[in-house]
Structure 1
Amino acid sequence: MQNCGKLAGYTIFITGASRGIGKSVALKAAQDGANIVVASKTSEPHPSLPGTIHTAAEEIKQAGGNSLACVVDVRTESDVQAAIDETVDTFGGIDILINNASAISLTNTKNTAMKTYDLMHQINARGTYICSKLALPHLIKSRQNGKSPHILNMSPPLSMSTDWFKNHCAYSMAKYGMSMCTLGMAEEFSEYGIAVNSLWPRTAIITVALEMISGWNKQVSSVCRKPDIMADAAYAILKRDASQCSGKFFIDEDVVKEEGITDLDQYAVDPSKPLIDIVNPGPAWDGIVAAFNKS
């Protein structure tokens, strides 16, 4: 039986989709029968982290979608271009780009090595920019073909509050670089009918990669949500008309509520535990971040 969901026939290029939030979004869209490109670095099994582009691609097929696994380091222009070319050769175009690949270090200035600073800026800000730039011609064609093209950046709402910068300035700068892409490209690409938006979680989202970060307290996982809420929110955004929905900084919890989902406990790792708000960081978040600077 052929899938006929809202995203059926759409080709979605997702960076960092071999695990975590990226893979969750991919599996959600796959249920509609979408074509999913898993654009990530992990082609061989990692000694500590489960999942590769190939295992993710197989899960996508099992969920009902078509898949293409591409080895991509978003810091390398030739990698991105090669993957985009292969995507177009395989599926005929690109309709949606999800800039999900990200590097994180919740360290303060004293404890942030410059190679870590460079890594975060190259993957988060530069990676988002280059993927958007190279996908643009195909997104324009998507609109010309009568589809509703989107770029969705997994990045935070822009705020000049010091709470965002005092503890992990380098990381916030890199993520804000992604958000600045949303701000500028939404206006720049409006003439083409391409939507550019950001999506950010209300609370920390637990992933295997996050748990592997030095300084992460495993008990903190119990006050996080699962990636499913980001997948449901992303899916809801991507279903919207691109001409009517651009330049927005969405919060996952708000989006799913707009979709009529009232049971948010389903997304919690432990519904009995209070969740930590990372949209408006407070003492609880400061305590978590402090652990990274002691490790």
Structure 2
Amino acid sequence: MSSATNKPVALVVGASRGIGRQVAIDLAKAGYHVIVSAKSTTPLSALTTLSPFPPDPNSSKSTITTVALEITNLGHSATAIPVDTTSQTSIENLINETFSQFGRIDVLIYNTGAIWWGPIATTPLKKFLLLQKVNPEGLYTLLHHALPALKASPLGGRIIVVCPPIYSRFFRGKTAYAMGKVAMSVLVKGLGMDFVREDLTASQKKGEGREKGMAITGIWPAVAIESAATEQFTTRDEEYKRDLRKPAIFSDAILAMLEAKAERVNGELLLDEDFLREEKGVQDFGRYSLVEGASPRRIMPEVLPDLRVKEQDDEGMRADSSKL
């Protein structure tokens, strides 16, 4: 078992480039041993000839191998373990290898995702199936295998999922993509409810209140962030860059979510900017602008719908098919 087991372990899936890379680096700086995971790797023999280093974080030359090396070069700890989120066997191997090496998983970040934007008429069935395979199915499979380790975490077990708040405008022009991403948001809501129920049951048995427990949180950018995804779907001219932020805002928000009490973030679908403003009192977001002095345009609504109903606490007849 690795000597890094004295540190909390954060597994970042989708950490080879862009936002995921930044999140992995900043978690390592915050004291986590980071498992850097994605499909892309670099042969060790090629690292010595890779120039410049580190490579462009939004290019294919940035892999889990280079990100893990960046982190260790900074004096922090990281391990690169590849995963294909379309393969249940690969996901199971990732969790088993992480736990066998480090004996714990305290934080899980699901940043990986497939993207295809377009109306239904121009979205091939093959693309639709891939979107669902990587996005909601990959997340569900990963959680299925990781939950036992997360529940055993002495820190309570935290999960952060890159998925959006649920509102109608999000579906426009990208229905197939939205179906998968909103399914991930529903998972955040549903698993969050399960956590509350489990924590309350355990606390009642001990005669305690729900003070410490697991939490799952969705995070989404209020303003577009520089990444491989934004470069793929947009031009790279200087004018467009004025509407982008650096990935650091996302990692700062994630770190703040991990520090927050479970009841504050559990089952919530949050925006990076709004959470930093409300939780950390951040007022000036200028330092996150990709172009110095620019004021990037907000892409998310100022006010989001409340999905709760007045009968929210009425569970009706709750059943568990596994016990029937």
- TM class by smaller structure: 0.7 to 0.9
**Shift in Å, 1:245:** 3.1
**Shift in Å, 1:273:** 4.1
Q: Which stretches of structure 1, 4 residues or longer, exceed 6 Å deviation after superposition?
A: none
Q: How does 1:36-115 map to 2 (within 5 A)?
A: 36-44=34-42, 49-115=60-126
Q: Deviation per CA, 1:168-193, whole angstroms, max 9, x where unpaired?
A: 11111111111111011111133152
Matched, 1:196 2:213: no
Aligned with residue 180 of structure 1, among 169, 181, 186: 186
Separation in 2, partners of 1:229, 1:157: 18
* C-alpha spacing 1:100/1:48, structure 2 compared with 1 (3 Å): closer
* C-alpha spacing 1:276/1:121, structure 2 compared with 1 (3 Å): farther
Q: Deviation per CA, 1:195-228, whole angstroms, max 9, x where unpaired?
A: 01101100111113431x2x52223333111111
Separation in 2, partners of 1:209, 1:164: 17
* C-alpha spacing 1:35/1:177, structure 2 compared with 1 (3 Å): same
Q: SS at the partner of 1:13?
A: strand
Separation in 1, partners of 2:74, 2:149: 26
Q: How does 1:1-295 map to 2 (within 5 A)?
A: 9-44=7-42, 49-142=60-153, 146-159=154-167, 161=168, 163-190=169-196, 191-192=198-199, 193-211=213-231, 213=232, 215-219=233-237, 220-257=240-277, 258-280=279-301
Separation in 1, partners of 2:294, 2:77: 38
Separation in 1, partners of 2:25, 2:174: 31
**Shift in Å, 1:276:** 3.1
Separation in 2, partners of 1:106, 1:277: 19
- Report the TM-score when normalising by structure 1: 0.84
Separation in 1, partners of 2:59, 2:34: 25
- Indicate the RMSD between aligned Cα atoms, in angstroms: 2.1
Contact 1:25 1:231 in 2 (8 A): yes
* C-alpha spacing 1:121/1:244, structure 2 compared with 1 (3 Å): same
Q: Deviation per CA, 1:84-105, whole angstroms, max 9, x where unpaired?
A: 1111111111011111101112
* C-alpha spacing 1:27/1:119, structure 2 compared with 1 (3 Å): same
Separation in 1, partners of 2:83, 2:60: 17
**Shift in Å, 1:28:** 1.0
Separation in 2, partners of 1:32, 1:44: 26
Which has the larger displacement, 104-113 or 47-56? 47-56
Q: SS at the partner of 2:149?
A: helix
Q: Which residue of 1 aligns with 2:321?
A: none
Q: SS at the partner of 1:152?
A: strand
**Shift in Å, 1:243:** 4.9
Contact 1:30 1:61 in 2 (8 A): no
**Shift in Å, 1:151:** 0.8
Contact 2:15 2:64 in 1 (8 A): yes
Match of 1:43, as an amino acid? T
Gaps of 5+ in 2: 1-5, 44-54, 200-212, 303-324
Q: Deviation per CA, 1:32-77, whole angstroms, max 9, x where unpaired?
A: 2211111100013899523111111112223443211111011111
Q: SS at the partner of 1:196?
A: strand
Gaps of 5+ in 1: 1-7, 282-295
Which has the larger displacement, 47-56 or 68-77? 47-56
